[in-house]
């Protein structure tokens, strides 16, 4: 094991531990602000009434489900190309967080779909592709624990993350490519957001809160992963020591 490759994660872990309280603190502050804005300050929708408030927890979770997967795929590609030891750690640490965001997008979506569409679930392109994303996350997490040898597990996980990335543009454009109950893009449009600012601001605060929370959780989980790897290498080193 090259000494440099080891020293790097250690330095990162030190940096991460000084950044963690800042990220965690801002995530909590932004989350409280976003919840307050979404529940108290945002107006009810003229068609959907107060059910539209589900948007402030549904849309950021759905964005994060794709963003975290994108980060995982990029980290996996970086692990292949540059062999940086932190890249696999970052991808592995992200997966359970992305899985939770995806589950939240699905559950809050069902809770929004029932009163608005009259159905908890429809097998249309948007919902089905997000469900597939959820299973990609689960498969990725299981793969890491199913393969004993860490190097082989990392390699298999990278391939799975990269293959699954095909799903991300499919999710994004599913509302344009296929007929669907799900509404089209309202924020990330080429002609600008088609949503009033009294609803857009709470939504963006929640989106930033979810992003900062992801960053905080990524730091925390990468620290845990690095410490576990260090522990494993200490134990391995002791096993091979001549008696």
Partner 1 sequence: MTDWSTFFAMGGYAAYVWPAYVISVVSLLAIAIASWNWMTRAERLASASKSAEGPTPETKL
User: Which residues are at the interface with partner 1 (CB under 8 A)?
Assistant: 1-3, 6, 24, 31, 35, 39-40, 44, 49-51, 53-54, 57-58, 61, 96-97, 100, 103-104, 107-108, 111-112, 114-115, 213, 216-217, 220-221, 223-225, 227-228, 230-231, 233-238, 240
Cβ-proximal residues to 144 (8 Å cutoff; 6+ apart), any chain: 92, 95, 153, 157
Rounded CA-CA distance 113/51 in Å is: 10
Calculate the dihedral angle through the C-alpha atoms of 122, 124, 130, 136, rounding to the nearest 10 degrees.
100
Nearest distance in Å: CB 127, partner 1: 16
Q: How far is the CB of 178 from partner 1 (least distance, A)?
A: 25
Pick the closer one to partner 1 by CB: 11 or 235: 235
Q: Which is nearer to partner 1, 189 or 204 (CB)?
A: 204
Question: Closest separation between CB of residue 173 and partner 1, Å?
Answer: 26
Which residue lies nearer to partner 1 by CB, 40 or 123? 40
Q: Using CA atoms, how far apart are residues 175 and 128, in angstroms rounded to an integer? A: 12
CB of 142 to partner 1, least distance (A): 17
Structure tokens at 9: 């994660």
* Coil/strand/helix, residue 49: strand
Cα gap 183→113, rounded to integer Å: 11
């Amino acid at each position: 094991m090259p000494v440099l490759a080891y020293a790097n994660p250690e330095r990162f872990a030190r940096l991460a531990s000084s950044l963690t309280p800042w990220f965690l603190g801002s995530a909590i502050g932004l989350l409280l602000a976003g919840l307050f804005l979404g529940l108290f300050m945002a107006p009810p929708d003229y068609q959907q009434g107060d059910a539209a408030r589900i948007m402030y927890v549904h849309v950021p979770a759905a964005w994060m489900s794709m963003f975290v997967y994108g980060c995982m795929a990029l980290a996996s590609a970086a692990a292949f190309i540059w062999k940086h030891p932190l890249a696999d750690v970052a991808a592995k640490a992200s997966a359970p967080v992305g899985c939770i965001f995806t589950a939240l997008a699905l559950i809050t979506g069902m809770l929004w779909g029932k009163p608005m569409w009259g159905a908890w679930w429809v097998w249309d392109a948007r919902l089905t592709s997000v469900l597939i994303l959820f299973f990609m996350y689960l498969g990725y997490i299981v793969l890491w624990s199913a393969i004993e040898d860490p190097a082989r597990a990392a390699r298999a996980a990278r391939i799975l993350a990269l293959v699954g990335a095909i799903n991300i543009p499919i999710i994004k454009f599913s509302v344009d490519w296929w007929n669907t109950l799900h509404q089209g893009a309202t924020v990330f449009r080429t002609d600008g957001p088609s949503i009033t600012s009294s609803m857009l601001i709470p939504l963006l605060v929640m989106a930033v809160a979810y992003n900062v929370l992801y960053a905080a959780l990524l730091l925390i989980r990468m620290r845990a992963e690095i410490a576990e790897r260090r522990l494993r290498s200490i134990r391995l080193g002791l096993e091979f020591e001549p008696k």
